[in-house]
Structure 1
């Protein structure tokens, strides 16, 4: 008699699953045979997410998060928030703080969290249009909260990876993804959402970027 030595498929919780990148994470995870649960505010918006178990709740609600985390091996956070030129943004940091508490309570240690170029020491590396116009006029308050979000993840004690995509596009995936931490010669760049989803899912089992914050780009 022979026994399979292949590991069981990971059991994921995906947050932000109804966003453009989140949907690709769910579909790619399902295609890999992963067991996927999503926490969504509206079952209607998630009705077309194939291959995922739905839990309805608010990502800021620790009790809802704990329910969704039961039996999970890892979490992928693709939470996003609209541009907010005038109003303070707190969703990302509030939800991430609740998520960290819930993960510790449910003993789930692996967290892959998407933020973006402009967070932390990647600020000022988005190229002229992004750095001089889009960021200060539309995204400054969003990135104040992204920085709070990253700090919560870094201080969490979890097995985390912070993924900072360059400017997102909807083109087909390109296998030549670069993951950078030295940005001294990097200014601008873009990457497809498909490739972001693929890179993020690769981190569920890989440790190469553990406790690091790679910027990913083409």
Structure 2
């Protein structure tokens, strides 16, 4: 299987690339600078590196990069700096998701491509009746006005939910929602739920980045797991978050 990974130089994207390679899959990455990739990835025979700014690629170029891929994993996010939070592109994840999905549709794949988007437990799945306290709704409302990356997360998932839908002939999707992310050296036990079981603002749990990478790799490469969560927005917690 060939998988295109977006955000491969990020904290979770690197781990996902490693997970996929360890399972024997071919990986393509689109990165601004190959120098930000681990040496083991740069020199790996199963890795194809496209050095470019994703949003500056033409539709034709994106079409070439998605052709032949059976899965796409998006781990893009905003750097925790003033420029990263408030500078352009403010809708990085949304526009990347929209453009990649359009490229997949235009490539007319023989088999539906799996698109897995890394998101956040702070983004509600509006296809479900996910309850939230007044305080939670108030804070989320403030985040929409003051923190562009939160809106980016919401709109990116809406591209899949509303623009792509669940019956698209070219691609299917799942949105992975971790809670507060932490770094761990190895995978550990984790739970997957259709909706948050904790308040992501006032009672947040933690999720190991390597567990997120493991689950995303499972979704792409394991048809049984994909069949369970396709078209949904599963929330992942590490056991230690309990």
In the superposition, the TM-score normalised over structure 2's length comes to 0.74
Residue in structure 1 matched with residue 173 of structure 2 by the alignment: 160
Partner of 1:142: 149
Is 1:65 aligned to residue 69 of structure 2? no
| Distance in 2 (alpha carbons) for counterparts of 1:153 and 1:55 | 25
Is residue 93 of structure 1 aligned with residue 109 of structure 2? no
Please tell me whether the aligned partners of residues 39 and 65 of structure 1 are also in contact (alpha carbons under 8 angstroms). no
- 1:50-100 per-residue CA deviation (whole Å, 9 max, x = no partner) reads 232101222223333222212111101111112456557211111111111
Matched residues in 2 for 1:17 and 1:79: separation?
Answer: 8
Question: 2: distance between equivalents of 1:124 and 1:69?
Answer: 38
Range with greater deviation from structure 2 (155-164 or 169-178): 169-178
Aligned-CA RMSD value: 2.9
Hey, which of these two has a bigger chunk of helix by percent? 2
Q: Residue 26 of structure 2 corresponds to which residue in structure 1?
A: 35
The answer to whether the 8 Å contact 1:38/1:68 transfers is: no
Which residue number corresponds to residue 219 of structure 2? 203
Residue equivalent to 2:189: 176
SS of equivalent residue, structure 2 residue 34:
coil
Q: TM-score, normalised by structure 1?
A: 0.82
- Please say if residues 116 and 166 of structure 1, whose CA atoms lie closer than 8 Å, have aligned partners that are also in contact: yes
* Inter-CA distance 145–49: structure 2 relative to 1 (3 Å threshold): farther
2:54 aligns to what SS in structure 1? coil
1:103 alignment counterpart: 104
Partner of 2:4: 13
Report the alpha carbon displacement of residue 16 of structure 1 after superposing the two structures with TM.
Answer: 0.4
Conservation of the 8 A alpha-carbon contact between 1:81 and 1:142: yes
Q: Which runs of 5 or more structure 1 residues have no equivalent in the other structure? A: 1-9
Distance, in Å, in 1 between the alignment partners of 2:184 and 2:146 is 23
The offset of 1:208, in angstroms, is: 1.0
